[in-house]
Amino acid sequence: MERHQFLIRPEVALACYPRAEHGAPAPARYRVLVLVRPDEAERVSALAQVLLRNTDVTVIDSVIQRTGCLAQLVLVTQCVAPGRAALSRLVVQLGLERNVRSVQWESVPSFAPGNAIHYQ
């Protein structure tokens, strides 16, 4: 298998890399994955938006993918370290919902100049 090395131009890397202002920590991205019955997916998505409304968590993207007898709600969020507590509460609250089958959250690797080398 042949490996190719790709380097991102510095101006592109700077545009994509979230910079912190005035010494504040850069926000991290997290993905929340929820498996739910398809007829309840919209309600659970709205509930997640309400639970995150007055927190330091920003929802970047929200997608519902319907597959078979379940739907997967994917929330991509961004927050600084103190906002992770709100994400943890969200996961616990969604896990208590009746028609939710599974909830998990994971960090999404951010693009950084040190991570700019990709292999195919």
Residue 56 lies in a domain: yes
Residue type, 74: V
Strands 58-67 and 5-6: unpaired
In a domain, 19, yes or no: no
pLDDT at 104 exceeding the cut of 90? yes
Domain count within the chain? 1
Which residues of the chain form beta strands (DSSP E)? Answer: 5-6, 28-36, 58-67, 70-79, 100-108, 118-119
Alpha helix locations (H) across 1-120?
10-16, 41-51, 84-95
> For residue 23, what pLDDT is reported?
63
**49 within some domain:** yes
Residue 94 lies in a domain: yes
CATH number of the CATH domain containing 67 = 3.30.70.260
In this predicted structure, the answer to whether residue 117 has a pLDDT above a threshold of 50 is no
pTM higher than 0.85, yes or no? no
Q: Is 43 a domain residue?
A: yes
Give the tens place of pLDDT for each residue, 18-54.
Answer: 555 566 677 899 999 999 999 999 999 999 999 999 8
Helix (H, G, I), strand (E, B) or coil at 7: coil
1 is a domain residue: no
Question: Would residue 15 count as lying in a domain?
Answer: no
Residue 62 lies in a domain: yes
Range of the domain at 84: 27-109
